[in-house]
Structure 1
Amino acid sequence: MNITRENIDALNAVVKVDIVADDYQTKVNQLLTDYRKKADVPGFRKGHVPMGMIKKQYGKSIMIDEVNKLLQESLNKFITEEKIDILGNPLPRVQDDFNWDADKFSFEFELGLVPEFDVDLKPKKKVTEYKIIATEELLEEEVKNIQTRYGKMSPLEEVIKEANITGTFINEEKEINKKGTFLVSDLEGKKNEKKLVGAKVGDVIELETKKLFKDDHKLQHILGVSHEEIHDLDIKVTLTIEEITKTEPADLDQELFDKLFPDGSVKTSSELREKIKEDAEKQFAQQGDQQLLNAVTEHLVENTKFDLPAEFLQKWLATAGEKELTPEEAKAEFEKSEKGLRYQLIEGKVMKDNDIKLDYAELVDYAKGFIRTQMAQFGNTNPEEKELDDIAGRILQNQEEAQKLQSQLISQKLLAFYKENMSFKSKEVSYEEFIKEVYK
Structure 2
Amino acid sequence: MEITLDKHSANQASVKIKLNEADYQPKVDAKLKDYAKKANIKGFRPGKAPVSMVKRMYGTSVLVDEINSMLSSSLNEYLKGQTFRILGDPLPVIEDADKIDWNNQKDFEFEYKIGFVENVDIQLEGSLEAISYSIEMDEKEVDNTIENLRSQYGNMTNPEVSEENDFLYGDLKAIDGSFEKTFSLPLSKVDGRSLKKFLGLKKEDTVELDPSKVIKEDLAGVVGVTEEEAAQLTGKFEFTVKNINRTELAELNQEFFDKLFGEGQVDTEEAFRAKVRDIMSENYNKELKVYSDEQIKEQLIAKTNIDLPEAFLKEWLLKANDGKVTAEQVEKEYPIYAKQLSWTIISNELAKNNEIQAEHEDVIEKTKDMIREQFASSGLGAQLEASMDMFVDNYLKGNEGQNYMQMLTSVQNDKVLTFVKEKANAKEEKISVDKFQKLLAN
- What interval of TM-score do these two structures reach, taking the shorter chain for normalisation? 0.7 to 0.9
Deviations, residues 157-177 of structure 1 (Å, cap 9, x unaligned): 57532425799xxxxxxxxxx
RMSD: 4.4
| Partner residue in 2 for 1:73 | 73
Change (3 A) 1:83 1:43: same
Match of 2:424 in 1: 422
Q: Cα–Cα, structure 1 residues 127 and 362, in superposed 2: closer, same or farther, change >3 Å?
A: closer
Q: Which residue of 2 aligns with 1:21?
A: 21
Matched, 1:302 2:299: no
2:117 aligns to what? 114
CA offsets, 1:349-391, max 9 Å, x none? 2322332222333222322333344455323322487732222
Question: Unaligned regions of 5+ residues in structure 1, if any?
Answer: 168-180, 214-218, 224-233
Q: CA deviation at 1:281?
A: 1.7
Residues 1:282 and 2:282 are matched in the alignment:
yes
After superposition, the Cα gap between the structure-2 partners of 1:158 and 1:102, relative to the gap in structure 1 and judged at 3 Å, is: farther
Question: What's the counterpart of residue 139 of structure 1?
Answer: 142
Amino acid at match of 1:130: Y
Shift in Å, 1:71: 1.0
Of the candidates 144, 161, 164, which is equivalent to residue 164 of structure 2? 161
**Does the 8 Å contact 1:127/1:299 carry over to 2?**
no
- Inter-partner Cα distance in structure 1 for 2:198 and 2:410: 44
Alignment of 1:12-411 (within 5 A): 12-82=12-82, 84-93=84-93, 94-95=95-96, 98-100=100-102, 101-122=104-125, 126-145=129-148, 148=151, 154-156=157-159, 159-163=162-166, 184-185=187-188, 187=189, 189-190=191-192, 211-212=217-218, 244-249=244-249, 263=264, 267=268, 269=270, 272-323=272-323, 334-335=334-335, 337-375=337-375, 377-383=377-383, 387-399=387-399, 401-402=403-404, 405-406=407-408, 408-411=410-413
C-alpha deviation, 1:66, in angstroms: 0.7
Cα separation, 1, equivalents of 2:63 and 2:145:
75
Q: Is the 8 A contact 2:128 2:424 kept in 1?
A: no
Amino acid in the other structure paired with 2:121: D
Q: 1:209 to 1:31 in 2, by over 3 A?
A: farther
> How many Å separate the matches in 1 of 2:23 and 2:216?
71
Between the aligned partners of 1:363 and 1:236, the Cα distance in structure 2 is 53
Which residue identity does 2:118 align to in structure 1? P
Q: 1:435 aligns with which of 425, 434, 437?
A: 437
CA distance in 1, matches of 2:19, 2:379: 65
Task: For residue 118 of structure 1, give the secondary structure of its aligned residue in structure 2.
Answer: coil
Distance 2:153 2:301 in 1: 48
Quote the Cα distance in structure 1 between the aligned partners of 2:101 and 2:259.
82
Q: 1:281 to 1:317 in 2, by over 3 A?
A: closer
Distance 1:371 1:327, change over 3 A: closer
Residues 148 and 252 of structure 1, relative CA distance in 2, 3 Å threshold: same
Tell me how far 1:37 sits from its aligned partner: 3.2
Matched residues, number = 404
Change (3 A) 1:43 1:267: closer
How far 1:67 moved relative to its partner?
A: 0.7
Greater shift in the superposed pair: 89-98 or 362-371: 89-98
- Tell me by how many angstroms 1:115 deviates: 3.1
TM-score of the superposed pair, with normalisation by structure 2: 0.73
Q: Secondary structure at the match of 2:382?
A: coil
Summarize deviations over 1:117-138 as a string: whole Å, max 9, x none: 2223345572554332221322
Deviation at 1:293, TM superposition (A): 1.2
* 1:377 match: secondary structure: coil
Which digits, 9 at most, give the CA deviation of each residue in 1:202-254, with x for residues without a partner? xxxx99999459xxxxx9xxx9xxxxxxxxxx8989xxx99854355566678
TM-score by length of 1: 0.74
The AA in structure 2 aligned to 1:107 is F
Which segments of 5 or more consecutive residues in structure 2 lack a partner in the other structure?
A: 171-183, 205-210, 231-240
Deviation at 1:84, TM superposition (A): 4.5
Identity across aligned pairs (percent)? Answer: 29
Give the secondary-structure state (helix, strand or coil) at the position aligned to 1:13. strand
| Distance in 1, Cα, partners of 2:335 & 2:254 | 60
CA contact (8 A) 1:120 1:304 kept: yes
- Contact kept in structure 1, 2:128 and 2:296, CA below 8 Å: no
The amino acid across from 1:298 in the alignment is E
Counterpart-to-counterpart distance in 2, 1:324 and 1:248: 51
Give the structure 1 partner of residue 233 of structure 2: none
CA contact under 8 A between 1:372 and 1:383: conserved in structure 2?
Answer: no
Shift of 1:407: 5.0
Equivalent pair of 1:209/1:236 in contact (CA under 8 Å): no
Shift in alpha-carbon separation, 1:142–1:89, aligned structure 2, 3 A:
closer
Shift of 1:337: 2.8
CA drift of 1:421 comes to: 2.6
- The answer as to whether partners of 2:136 and 2:430 remain within 8 angstroms in 1 is yes
Q: Bigger radius of gyration, 1 or 2? A: 2
